[in-house]
Amino acid sequence: MPEGTLCNRQPITTDEQLKLTLSDKGGRQYYAEMEQLEVDTDKLWTAIQNTMKSRLKTWLNVCAKCGLCADSCFLYECNGRDPRQVPSAKIHATLGEIVKRKGKVDNAFMRKCMDIAWSWCTCCNRCGQFCPHGIDMGVMFSYLRGLLFSQGFVPWELKIGSGMHRVYKAQMDVTTEDWVDTCEWMADENSEEWPGLEIPVDKEDADIMYTLNAREAKHYPEDIAEAAILFHVAGENWTVPSEGWEQTSLTLFAGDWEGCKQNVLHVYDAIERLRPKRVVGTECGHAHRATVIEGPYWAGREDGQPPRPFLHYVEWLAEMLRTGRIKIDPAKRIKELVTLQDSCNYVRNQGLKNITREIMSYLVEPGYFVEMAPNKEYNYCCGGGGGFNGIGKYRPQRNIALLKKRQQIMDTGAKLVVAPCHNCWDAIRDLEEEYPMGIRWSFLKPLVIKMMIVPDHLKPQDEEGEE
């Protein structure tokens, strides 16, 4: 069988195909079909010749297999220091082999590559900092994922995820109507406690356009309300776009390059349409990487920048706290040990390490903030990055991957973990589910709302109850 009904080389582009693939329980038929999926070796080799640029070629050639990257990889450490888990070994066993064989690889090899690309590497890019040649295996694995996706060898959930983006322009089936309605709902639900609270949709020339993660609209719209409350208190002139609001990119995890470009263009189109002065994205790591760090290149923007200055949520929040537009009540500062999860995607990939610590300095009573070790750009992946969290097939491997973060958190002694990234938040939630240790975890928004001083004119004007 060259291509299956569910598992094939075509990305999902129709609602029908999406529902069909979704209805396949746990991807059983999908993975069964994958075993029969023919590798289009000519197409694979052509793709490599067309897309593999000199940097990757050089990296593959100059890697001396010295092993200095070994200890940098948390998956290597968590998996009993298995030599096969050394980053350089992983990439040579997969991409290296495909290139060496000029694309002439078989089905079994491609499936092995898929296992390695999605369950042995989270594209966290940590190893890149330890390589004497500056080789970044995370980048190479992202490239490998693209090749695998184009041949149909991609985990079921990510095939669906990329399809969701293509069909609904969001990683979940949130339509424009659902989204706009959710904004109205959240403004309405919170209007009593926050008189004048609005979630303005499609306001042109606002100071800020806010973009977010579809999971917020779908499953925990409180997050949208919290963002609105903080914009409201800070006195921002802000808006959300009715289209192009979804900032995440499961296509990035899936290796769906074409989909990546489509996603980021939705956001950029919204920016061009509404002309905000700046854009702020939610507390999400990969969404920021997709829209701000890699997105401009996918979109073919020559300056390598999004159409307007684009801030991660931590940048906006730090600015508000620094300038006093949001003030923290000193009496409410956190007085328990608290630690901070550095998200690979905006800390290692963009260097937003000090700004998150600046935020912590406003929120936490001196002496109560404990760093994980290592931290900042040397911090480990949460264990669920790169799509690892969402793939059922690799759940056992993901659970092992969580162990490094577990140890790091336990070593701090903190019971509260601040995780300003959806993926990290999820991984830490799952960590507590898999290996209960009595910790709590939080995004920044609810913490700040709990701790900020609300100006009197923004408080509800209800009469006092009894004396």
Partner 1 sequence: MKKKILLATTGSPASFGAARVAFEMARRYDAELLLFHVAGVPKKGFSYQEVSDVRSQEAVSVDEDYMAWVEEELKTTYAKQLEDCNNFRILLATGLPHREILRVARGEDVDMIIMGAHSGDSSAVYSKGYPGSTLQRVAKAAKCPVMTVHRESASYMGGFSHIVFATDFSKQSESAFKYALSMAKEFDCEMTLFHALDITSKVLAQSDIEDKLISLRKRLRDVYGPKMGDFKNFEVDVWEGNPYVEIVKIARERMADLIVLAHNTRELDPEQASMGSTLEQVILRANCPVVSVNRPDKV
* Binding residues for partner 1 (CB under 8 A): 22-23, 25-26, 157, 160-161, 172, 185, 188-189, 192-193, 215, 218-222, 384, 389-392, 395, 422-423, 425-426, 429-430, 432-433, 436, 440-442, 446, 449-450, 460, 462-466
The two three-digit tokens of residue 129, written as one number:
């900092």
As measured in angstroms, the least distance from the Cβ of 109 to partner 1 is: 27
CA-to-CA dists, residue 234 to 103, 152, 400, angstroms: 55, 47, 42
Nearer to partner 1, 108 or 437 (CB): 437
Which helix or strand (DSSP H or E) is residue 22 part of?
A: helix 15-22
Give CA–CA dist 381/389, Å, rounded. Answer: 12
As measured in angstroms, the least distance from the Cβ of 238 to partner 1 is: 21
The two three-digit tokens of residue 399, written as one number:
């659970």
Nearer to partner 1, 198 or 426 (CB): 426
The two three-digit tokens of residue 115, written as one number:
């296992």
Dihedral angle over CA of 174, 176, 182, 184, nearest 10: 180
Give CA–CA dist 215/270, Å, rounded. Answer: 19
Provide DSSP, 246-263: B---HHHHHT-HHHHHHH
As measured in angstroms, the least distance from the Cβ of 189 to partner 1 is: 5
As measured in angstroms, the least distance from the Cβ of 26 to partner 1 is: 5
As measured in angstroms, the least distance from the Cβ of 254 to partner 1 is: 13
As measured in angstroms, the least distance from the Cβ of 114 to partner 1 is: 18
Nearer to partner 1, 367 or 438 (CB): 438
Nearer to partner 1, 215 or 353 (CB): 215
Handedness of CA 396, 220, 175, 268 (dihedral sign): negative
The two three-digit tokens of residue 157, written as one number:
């959930």
- The answer to whether the beta carbons of residues 228 and 362 sit under 8 Å apart is no
Nearer to partner 1, 304 or 460 (CB): 460
As measured in angstroms, the least distance from the Cβ of 253 to partner 1 is: 10
Nearer to partner 1, 63 or 214 (CB): 214
Largest CA distance in the chain: 83
Locus of tokens 């336990």? 410
Nearer to partner 1, 160 or 292 (CB): 160
